[in-house]
Amino acid sequence: MRAVLFDRDGTLVHDVPYNGDPEQVRPVDGAREVLDALRARGVRVGVVSNQSGVARGLLTSAQVDAVNRRVEDLLGPFDVWQVCPHGPDDACVCRKPAPGMVVRAAAALGIAPAECAVVGDIGADVGAAVAAGARAVLVPTAVTRTEEVDAAPLVAPDLRAAVAMLGVGP
């Protein structure tokens, strides 16, 4: 496993629907420590994030960028960012559960998708990983549906356990 790609909202930071305000960014417990441990082991880290608020007119790309900068301020640098600004009906290849962001993130890192894992909180995150040929770990939250948990290949109670399951974490 050469890279771990994380969903942003609900996985690395607490989900604030359509957040365009960097001041509302709050990391989940242990996120910084897990990311720092991965970095220390030479594992590349990235973010793959659906941001349909842009397509819906609820956010601007500049707001998404500002929130992403705040995430980096709090959690440290990421090797790659992939953001899908499209809505659910746009039929793009990047919006999770489509594999586009995972494939592009792997390409940007110079590795194959099979050398990546995706950690997320909903079935779309798992679906994108599987579709791209990457490993997937679901870290459920209050919004994760039971059927998503049941369908996930790996389920972890938190980020630390998720990366441990992948054999790359603390």
Q: Which of 109, 118, 157 is nearest to 7 (CA)?
A: 118
Q: Which of 104, 102, 126, 99 is nearest to 116 (CA)?
A: 102
- Identify the residue whose tokens are 């079935």: 123
Q: Which amino acid is at 118?
A: V
Q: Which amino acid is at 114?
A: A
Concerning whether 7 is annotated as a catalytic residue, the answer is yes
Burial class (CB in 10 A: 0-12, 13-18, 19+), 14: middle
Q: Which of 9, 21, 73, 158 is catalytic?
A: 9
Q: Which of 7, 21, 29, 90 is catalytic?
A: 7
Concerning whether 150 is annotated as a catalytic residue, the answer is no
**Would you please indicate which residues are annotated as catalytic (active-site) residues?**
7, 9
